């Protein structure tokens, strides 16, 4: 064994665990000296000037600064009475590193919410009832609740007859997924729809029901949602706005007439285009196990259905199923291009799978953009994603697709991007699309993602330091015998011209790494760009360990020195880990 390998095996026992308080980086000390005018403390007046001039917080008053200073003094020194003259350098540094007091993004809804629905990207789930994979996981109301509590505004339910054909199950059809009752799903949506956001929840129904069962669904949704349910008196010629639809539930599905046409096509051996076609790709007929599973759950459904029948007995007959559809879905019966360019007075929703979107973007990208200026486009994962993985969302966004249906249990980089996009606008689940996706140019041209454009903005990102891992992870999590060796990856996700990857150097043996490095990113379409940040721990013998991640919409970044909260692989916020960074647009 060579001496180097011998040292790596045994010499590491002599390496010390270095745990020290982070020192303020030079930029922080320089800012403090500048705004405290060389004094030992920064007054409320000086602090307010720092917030306005350095941090870009227009409208910040001395009273606002004083309130923040009071909070900082209380937290740091546990003083109930604010008697200090101002902030010391240590107080100032402490403030900058608090992600609740100094976050990288605005925390309030600030986009115009009065435009029609098609003007917004909408946080949308796919097969929202699944707990795991697309083949054999349980169906449950729990993933629906979790999604709504995260701010998801689009919930998908697949409706199938039970084995006796007399009631409705929610499950992924012709797979081994165990069903959940529709009533339980609807009740959960009602109870949790507006916990995170007041803006409307759209329930997209994949409807495989007979007319009798559709009537049963109509009764159920009107009984559960009551006045919360939005449906227009006549077929809508324009979508309402999120503001007008606050605290409302909207159903979106094919009208029954189209259902019957689709059913006839299937009986004639014609497969409709644009369908969420998992079962066509994997299961040509229903598995025997499914009916056995249905029977097992029928008794549970009967109990709940009894409650539903009792509650609705005294109510008037509900409106027919077709009238309850607030957003009409259509299928690409004659091909995707035809569906995109066919003019119609009525606004509609079209569903395409990710492969159909890719083909349309390549062959007729501006037609996709034109369609989404008036109508809603929903894009869902291809059927081969049996592990509930997700597709890259940027192609959909750059073509104006409002509803990119994601498996919220399909953790990974694509879902991190989705989380990042919908951290915008206060996390309310609706993000206003850039004007260029909704308007035409000076020569009546449509936005074309493939057309090269000039750099409009340059983002400078400074990665100062990180801390908190020693509180959120065990001391042997990253390395059994030494402190971790952290580095940070900084990526821009956007149109092809803007894509970029940078990373800091590795800081060895330190739980509180100080990198103090800066990177610049020229951006042609900053409105759609995401800043993806990932911390990794270098490992010479194995794959580098994951140390946290976040994804931030560039258009929402607050300039200045900011405390950036960090999330785990599932998108849950780590309790203590955060980075100190600076964002500048130059």
Domains, in order of start, for the chain? 26-96 (1.10.238), 117-438 (3.20.20.190), 453-585 (2.60.40.150)
| Tokens found for residue 79 | 């003083």
Residues 6+ apart with CB under 8 A from 445: none
Q: What is the pTM of this model?
A: 0.88
Active-site residue set: 126, 172
Q: Nearest 5°: phi and psi at 406?
A: -115, 145
- What's the confidence (pLDDT) of residue 318? 52
**For residues 434 and 431, what is the distance between their CA atoms, to the nearest angstrom?**
9
CA 567 to chain CA centroid, Å, is: 13
Instruction: Please list the ranges in the chain whose pLDDT falls under 70.
Output: 1-21, 79-84, 235-236, 257-318
- What's the confidence (pLDDT) of residue 9? 39
Query: Do the beta carbons of residue 125 and residue 102 sit within 8 Å?
Result: no
* Residue with the two structure tokens 């091909």: 335
**For residues 69 and 61, what is the distance between their CA atoms, to the nearest angstrom?**
12
The residues pairing with 584 across neighbouring beta strands, listed in sequence order, are 460
- What's the confidence (pLDDT) of residue 495? 95
- What's the confidence (pLDDT) of residue 44? 96
Q: If DSSP states are collapsed to H, E and C, what string results for 256-305? A: HHHHHHHHHHHHCCCCCCCCCCHHHHHCCCCCHHHHHHHHHHHHHHHHHH
- What's the confidence (pLDDT) of residue 286? 40
**For residues 367 and 338, what is the distance between their CA atoms, to the nearest angstrom?**
10
**For residues 545 and 248, what is the distance between their CA atoms, to the nearest angstrom?**
44
Sequence length of the chain is 586
- What's the confidence (pLDDT) of residue 539? 92
- What's the confidence (pLDDT) of residue 569? 97
**For residues 531 and 522, what is the distance between their CA atoms, to the nearest angstrom?**
12
- What's the confidence (pLDDT) of residue 309? 52
**For residues 491 and 383, what is the distance between their CA atoms, to the nearest angstrom?**
29
- What's the confidence (pLDDT) of residue 12? 42
| Tokens found for residue 543 | 């794959």
- What's the confidence (pLDDT) of residue 467? 97
* Residue with the two structure tokens 């490992």: 539
- What's the confidence (pLDDT) of residue 308? 52
What count of Cα atoms within 13 Å lies in the side-chain half-sphere of residue 437? 27
């Amino acid at each position: 064994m060579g001496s180097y390998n011998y040292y790596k095996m045994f010499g590491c026992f002599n390496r010390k665990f270095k745990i020290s308080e982070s020192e303020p980086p030079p930029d922080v000390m320089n800012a403090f000296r500048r705004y405290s005018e060389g004094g030992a403390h920064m007054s409320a007046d000086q602090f307010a000037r720092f917030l306005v001039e350095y941090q870009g917080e227009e409208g910040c008053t001395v009273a606002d600064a004083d309130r923040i200073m009071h909070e900082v003094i209380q937290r740091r020194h546990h003083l109930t009475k604010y008697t200090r003259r101002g902030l010391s350098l240590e107080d100032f540094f402490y403030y900058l590193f608090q992600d609740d007091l100094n976050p990288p993004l605005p925390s309030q809804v600030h986009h115009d919410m009065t435009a029609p629905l098609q003007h917004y990207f909408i946080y949308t789930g796919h097969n929202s009832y699944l707990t795991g994979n697309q083949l054999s996981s349980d169906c449950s109301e729990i993933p629906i609740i979790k999604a709504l509590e995260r701010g998801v505004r689009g919930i998908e339910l697949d409706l199938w007859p039970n084995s006796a054909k007399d009631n409705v199950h929610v499950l992924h059809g012709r797979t081994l997924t165990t069903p959940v009752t529709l009533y339980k799903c609807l009740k959960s949506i009602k109870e949790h729809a507006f916990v995170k956001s007041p803006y409307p929840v759209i329930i997209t129904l994949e409807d495989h029901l007979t007319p009798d069962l559709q009537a049963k669904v109509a009764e159920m949704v009107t009984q559960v949602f009551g006045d919360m349910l939005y449906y227009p008196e006549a077929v809508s010629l324009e979508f309402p706005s999120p503001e007008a639809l606050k605290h409302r539930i909207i159903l979106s599905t094919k009208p029954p007439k189209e259902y019957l046409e689709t059913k006839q096509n299937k009986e004639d051996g014609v497969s409709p285009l644009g369908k969420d076609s998992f079962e066509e790709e994997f299961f040509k007929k229903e598995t025997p196990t499914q009916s056995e599973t249905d029977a097992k759950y029928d008794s549970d459904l009967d109990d709940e259905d009894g409650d539903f029948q009792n509650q609705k007995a005294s109510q008037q007959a509900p409106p027919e199923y077709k009238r309850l559809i607030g957003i009409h879905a259509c299928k690409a019966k004659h091909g995707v291009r035809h569906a995109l360019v066919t003019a119609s007075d009525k606004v509609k929703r079209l569903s395409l799978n990710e492969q159909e979107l890719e083909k349309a973007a390549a062959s007729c990208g501006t037609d996709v953009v034109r369609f989404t200026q008036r109508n809603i486009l929903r894009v869902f994962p291809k059927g081969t994603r049996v592990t509930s993985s997700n597709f890259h969302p940027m192609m959909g966004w750059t073509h104006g697709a409002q509803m990119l249906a994601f498996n919220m249990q399909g953790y990974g980089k694509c879902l991190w991007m989705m989380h990042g996009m919908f951290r915008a606008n206060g996390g309310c689940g609706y993000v206003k699309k850039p004007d260029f996706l909704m308007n035409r140019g000076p020569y009546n041209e449509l936005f074309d993602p493939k057309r090269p454009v000039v750099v409009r903005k340059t983002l400078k990102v400074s990665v100062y330091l990180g801390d908190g891992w020693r509180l959120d992870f065990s001391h042997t999590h990253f390395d059994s015998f030494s402190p971790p060796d952290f580095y940070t990856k900084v990526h821009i996700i956007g149109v092809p011209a803007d894509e970029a990857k940078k990373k800091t150097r590795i800081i060895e043996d330190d739980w509180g790494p100080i990198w103090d490095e800066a990177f610049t990113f020229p951006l042609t379409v900053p409105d759609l760009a995401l800043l993806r940040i990932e911390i990794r721990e270098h490992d010479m013998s194995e794959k580098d360990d994951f140390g946290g991640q976040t994804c931030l919409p560039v258009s929402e970044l607050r300039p200045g020195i900011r405390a950036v909260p960090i999330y785990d692989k599932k998108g849950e916020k780590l309790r203590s880990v955060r980075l100190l960074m600076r964002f500048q647009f130059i």
